[in-house]
Amino acid sequence: MPQDHASGIQALLFDLDGTLLDAFDQYAISLIAALKHFHLPTPSRERVRELMGSSGDYAMLSLGVLPEQLREAQRRWVEWAQPIAYLARPFPGVVPLLKRLRQAGYRLGIVTSRPHRSVEITPAAMELASLVDLLVARDDTVEGKPHPEPVLYALNQLALAPEQAVYVGDAHYDIEAGQRAGCLTILATWDGVHLDPDGKYQPHFTVATPEQLADLVLNGKLEERSHHSRQLG
């Protein structure tokens, strides 16, 4: 039977790429192909990974695309991503994690920097979307992560307050967006990403595997932290 979460955390919101979906190769190959159209230099693997959690516009502008070229650059990026969409796969353990959380009665959502079209052309992304209650893509809001608007938009769609939700991501963009929205945050490190320890926004929890995340949520530790935060407030 689903648990009653009326007094605490009721929802978990997830970043997509690097958190639920192993899509680095699809992202990097198609991004570099789009940049080459504008005769821009190829960024390092580390730079691409660093930008992966940001909005597509921010990534493109950071790599030298001019503002007036953005629409064409985004079109070409998605165009190149489609034939290699098979490269993207859910991380091991992610699908069972989502199913366990749903069985436990939690509402689930995905808040991603991908536009809807990029999600729709990627079968593994659509598979994950079918396991959650809603998906918020980059074109659903004016601002993208690390601005809190996408997370707040998801909360509004679920009719939940920030203190009733957790945001899970693999990049500092995710942690900042979640905390600025007023949520507890969890850093997922199974993609090998680590935050700058001196950064302003540090996660409330860090997990190395989907199994650790399930244990953290289902053993009541999130409820304890949420209650403690409200008491301090």
CA distance 214 to 188: 12
At the topology level, CATH places domain 11-22+88-232 in Rossmann fold (3.40.50)
Burial class (CB in 10 A: 0-12, 13-18, 19+), 11: buried
Is 3's pLDDT higher than 60? no
pLDDT digits (tens, 9 = 90+) for 30-56: 999 999 999 999 999 889 988 887 888
At the topology level, CATH places domain 24-87 in DNA polymerase; domain 1 (1.10.150)
Domain ranges of the chain: 11-22+88-232, 24-87
DSSP the chain: -----TTS--EEEE-SBTTTEE-HHHHHHHHHHHHHHTTPPPPPHHHHHHHTTS-HHHHHHHTT--GGGHHHHHHHHHHHHGGGGGG-EEPTTHHHHHHHHHHTT-EEEEE-SS-HHHHHT-HHHHHHHTTSSEEE-GGGSSS-TTSSHHHHHHHHHHT--GGGEEEEESSHHHHHHHHHHT-EEEEE-TTS----TT-S---SEEESSHHHHHHHHHTTHHHHHHHHHHHH-
Average pLDDT over the chain, rounded to whole? 90
Give the residue among 162, 104, 135 at the shortest CA–CA distance from 16.
135
Is 230's pLDDT higher than 80? no
Across the strands, what pairs with 205?
186
> Looking at residue 147, what is its pLDDT?
95
Across the strands, what pairs with 22?
89
> Looking at residue 192, what is its pLDDT?
79
> Looking at residue 2, what is its pLDDT?
37
99's CB contacts (< 8 A; 6+ apart) are 131
Lowest mean pLDDT among 43-57, 66-80, 187-201, 218-232: 218-232
Identity of residue 46: E
